[in-house]
Amino acid sequence: MDRFAEELANLLRGQCCGWNNAVDVLIVAVFIYYVLALIRGTRAVQLLIGVLVLVLIYWTATLLRLTITTILLQALFALALVAIPVVFQPELRRALGQLGQLGPLNRLLVPGSEEEVEGIVDELVRAALLISEAKHGALIVLERATGLQDYSETGVPVNGKLTAELLASIFMTRSPLHDGAVIVRGAQILAAACLLPLEETAERTVHRYGMRHRAALSISAQTDAIVIVVSEETQAISIAAGGRIIGALDEERLRRVLTSLLRSRIQPLPFRSKAS
């Protein structure tokens, strides 16, 4: 901490202003921006503010030579090395997952041919419309570069061809598999009745969305999966991707958004949320 403050002071005084220092500052700025964007809208923001307050108090105590306060805060910072990874575990997992999606392997795992994408989109759109017309709910997770094997193992294996009729039958109210998520890999239905994580969300999100939508937001934030949600109460169709959700989709918009996301080669950019 002291060396960091010394290097920062030297930089501000202009004693070390080489090209490597400019690159260093740029990397740190990008890192800080990425961290802030990652934790935006989560409870980690309040925790981060608390940490910054403790750091400010520590610097103040050091300047005023408050020995006992300084020793106490140093002990707290030592404990924080263990506590912070535990407290920020969801954000850290999400960050590492997103970094892994930037590699060339991502281009090999997403649907390749336009014919395959169009076939998948046709079946998914028909399924969503059938489920909505039947006034049933649905939660369909489309696997992309990030593997969802851990989640599919919590459900019942299906390993069937992706068809609208099969999806609609799974989410029928009397079906034993309707309560949970269906995980789709390419043109295959891997499993049904799968359990998805419910990440801590902002308070406004908890009140705005039901359990299906919250689960869709959580899995799409932690992975690059695309999630189709059909509301059992309103029959509205929504899509979640990149930790964001867009709702009230008709057939044309649903087809256009799905096609765009499935054809994209990298993590979908967050798009504006709309009420569903």
In this prediction, residues 82-93 reach a mean pLDDT of 71
Choose between 95 and 240: higher pLDDT: 240
Choose between 265 and 11: higher pLDDT: 11
Range in 13-22, 123-132, 153-162, 170-179 with the lowest mean pLDDT:
13-22
Listed residues 56, 81, 100: the one ending a domain = 100
**Above 80 in pLDDT, residue 89?**
no
Looking at the 3D structure of the chain, how many domains does it have? Answer: 2
In this prediction, residues 149-164 reach a mean pLDDT of 89
Kindly state whether residues 46 and 179 are assigned to the same domain: no
Kindly state whether residues 158 and 237 are assigned to the same domain: yes
What is the domain extent for residue 64? 2-100
CA dist., res. 88 & res. 39, Å (int): 9
Kindly state whether residues 146 and 230 are assigned to the same domain: yes
**Above 70 in pLDDT, residue 240?**
yes
**Above 70 in pLDDT, residue 39?**
no
Listed residues 68, 100, 132: the one ending a domain = 100
Burial of 99 (0-12, 13-18, 19+ CB in 10 A): exposed
Kindly state whether residues 46 and 151 are assigned to the same domain: no
* Contact by Cβ (8 Å): 161, 189: yes
Kindly state whether residues 121 and 12 are assigned to the same domain: no
Question: What's the pLDDT at 10?
Answer: 62
Q: Tell which residue, 218, 219, 228, 213, has the closest CA to residue 258.
A: 228
**Above 80 in pLDDT, residue 36?**
no
**Above 80 in pLDDT, residue 129?**
yes
Kindly state whether residues 83 and 123 are assigned to the same domain: no
**Above 70 in pLDDT, residue 44?**
no
Choose between 58 and 11: higher pLDDT: 58
Question: What's the pLDDT at 105?
Answer: 46
Listed residues 80, 100, 120: the one ending a domain = 100
Q: Is residue 207 domain-resident?
A: yes
CA dist., res. 130 & res. 167, Å (int): 9
186: alpha, beta or left, given left = phi > 0 and alpha = psi -120 to 50? left
In this prediction, residues 221-242 reach a mean pLDDT of 90
CATH number at residue 257: 3.40.1700.10
> pLDDT class for 54, splitting at 50, 70, 90?
confident
Kindly state whether residues 210 and 133 are assigned to the same domain: yes
